[in-house]
């Protein structure tokens, strides 16, 4: 049974109205792999908690996070917004909280922010992104996320590898497992967890939204989707923003620009040696995540290559290349 089989229009709209927002009955489902997210149109109402025309309703996948873990995400976002940092914090609900129980689903509402995801960064934009990232890390360093995972191999590596044995092509499994063991053992020895802070955790271009306003009316980047926020190394929020490895000229230039903005507000982390190991951990964890969700027909539709030989050969090649570079 799909985790979201019971999430029908009646339940979605009833949950939003129970939260204190009167709907018109119109909604649009937005792209989201892990959760279910809807753009909900609202009626004008003096009784509404906030005078909004639309809200974004997020129904969390059951059993992924504890309620305390979800509130850690919300508290991080609220911390950022209170400091004037461009993030999108959850809206207050009628029950006085930021989450609502909806027949077994946990729902939160967010304001709808207009903007677009960048296809590529224009000159100067990465410097602005680096400046905002430094602000996020300054706030994140104030206290840990008590109910969120720590980004290490015990959480993100070994469990994923264990799930993958039944998916990797048998003739590739031995090499795949050997490469992963080399990588995970190296990461285990290299990561200094004493330096970990609250981070975004999934900081790539797809989780940046270029909105209006900002300096000189040029627009500002909102950091969105803190669903994977965790305690981890600062550099985790850097490497996914780059076009490739640090050996690539374009990625090196991008790194320089991000750092130019970052160092205006925070010391640049001395963790660049973790770029490729963290990339490997991401590859392993991402594949393990797909494997964990494979019983969901939606995942089989959006990742049809996951059970092909070429998919696993490509994954193996990438992992062996990183392992050989250690």
In tens, the pLDDT along 49-104 reads: 667 899 999 999 999 999 999 999 999 999 999 999 989 999 999 999 999 999 99
Residues 20 and 70 in one domain: yes
Q: What domain range includes position 253?
A: 125-325
Which of 3, 79, 225, 228 is the catalytic position?
225
Predicted local distance difference test score (pLDDT) of residue 46: 65
The whole-angstrom separation of Cα 79 and Cα 280 is: 31
Q: Is 225 a catalytic residue?
A: yes
Q: Is 5 a catalytic residue?
A: no
116 in any annotated domain: no
The whole-angstrom separation of Cα 188 and Cα 173 is: 22
Q: Look at residue 127 and tell me whether its pLDDT is greater than 90.
A: yes
Residues 132 and 98 in one domain: no
pLDDT tens digits for range 179-202: 999 999 999 999 999 999 999 999
Helix (H) or strand (E) holding 310: helix 309-325
Q: How high does pLDDT run on average in the chain?
A: 92
* Percentage of residues of the chain with pLDDT beyond 90: 80
Predicted local distance difference test score (pLDDT) of residue 184: 98
Output DSSP code: residue 109.
Answer: E
Q: If you average pLDDT over residues 5-13, what whole number do you get?
A: 95
**How many domains does one find in the chain?**
2
pLDDT tens digits for range 238-265: 999 988 776 677 778 889 999 999 999 9
Residues 19 and 61 in one domain: yes
Global pTM exceeds 0.85? yes
Q: Would you place residue 113 in the very low, low, confident or very high pLDDT band (cuts 50, 70, 90)? A: confident
Closest listed residue to residue 230, CA positions, set 73, 20, 46: 73
Residues 241 and 187 in one domain: yes
Q: Which residues pair with 221 in a beta bridge?
A: 210
Report the CATH number that the domain containing residue 269 is assigned in CATH.
Answer: 1.10.510.10
How far from the centroid of its chain's Cα atoms is residue 253's Cα? 24
Predicted local distance difference test score (pLDDT) of residue 196: 97
Q: Look at residue 304 and tell me whether its pLDDT is greater than 80.
A: yes
Q: Look at residue 1 and tell me whether its pLDDT is greater than 80.
A: no
* Percentage of residues of the chain with pLDDT beyond 70: 95
The whole-angstrom separation of Cα 111 and Cα 206 is: 18
Give the CA-trace dihedral at 66, 113, 203, 312, to 10 degrees: 80
Residues 87 and 150 in one domain: no
Structure tokens at 101: 């129980």
Q: Look at residue 214 and tell me whether its pLDDT is greater than 70.
A: no
How far from the centroid of its chain's Cα atoms is residue 49's Cα? 28
306 in any annotated domain: yes
Residues 105 and 235 in one domain: no
The whole-angstrom separation of Cα 185 and Cα 182 is: 5
Secondary structure (3-state) at 199: strand
Report the CATH number that the domain containing residue 96 is assigned in CATH.
Answer: 3.30.200.20
Q: Would you place residue 114 in the very low, low, confident or very high pLDDT band (cuts 50, 70, 90)? A: confident
């Amino acid at each position: 049974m799909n985790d979201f089989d019971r999430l029908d229009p009646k339940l979605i709209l009833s949950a939003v109205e129970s939260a204190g927002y009167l709907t018109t009955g119109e909604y649009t489902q937005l792209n989201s792999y892990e959760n279910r997210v809807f753009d909900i149109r609202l009626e004008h109402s003096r009784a509404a908690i906030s005078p909004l025309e639309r809200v974004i309703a997020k129904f969390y996948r059951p059993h992924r996070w504890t309620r305390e873990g979800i509130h850690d995400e919300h508290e991080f976002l609220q911390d950022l917004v209170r400091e004037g940092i461009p993030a999108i914090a959850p809206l207050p609900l009628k029950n006085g909280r930021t989450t609502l129980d909806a027949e077994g689903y946990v729902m939160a509402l967010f304001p709808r922010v207009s903007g677009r995801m960048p296809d590529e960064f224009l000159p100067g934009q990465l410097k602005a992104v680096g400046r905002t990232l430094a602000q996020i890390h300054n706030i994140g360093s104030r206290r840990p996320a008590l109910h969120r995972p720590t980004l290490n191999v015990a959480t993100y590596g070994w469990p994923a590898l264990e799930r993958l044995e039944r998916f990797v092509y048998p003739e590739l499994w031995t090499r795949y497992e050997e490469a992963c063991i080399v990588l995970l053992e190296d990461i285990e020895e290299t990561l200094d967890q004493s330096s970990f802070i609250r981070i975004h955790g999934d900081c790539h271009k797809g989780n940046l939204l270029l909105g209006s306003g900002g300096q000189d009316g040029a627009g500002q980047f909102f950091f969105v989707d803190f669903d994977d926020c965790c305690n981890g190394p600062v550099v985790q929020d850097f490497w996914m923003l780059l076009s490739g490895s640090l050996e690539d000229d374009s990625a090196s230039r991008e790194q320089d620009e991000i750092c130019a903005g970052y160092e205006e507000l925070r010391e640049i982390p001395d963790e660049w040696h973790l770029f490729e190991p963290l990339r490997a951990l991401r590859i392993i964890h991402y594949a393990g995540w797909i494997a964990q969700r494979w019983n969901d027909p939606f995942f089989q539709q959006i990742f049809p290559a996951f059970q092909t030989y070429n998919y696993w050969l490509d994954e193996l090649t990438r992992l062996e290349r990183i392992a050989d570079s250690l």
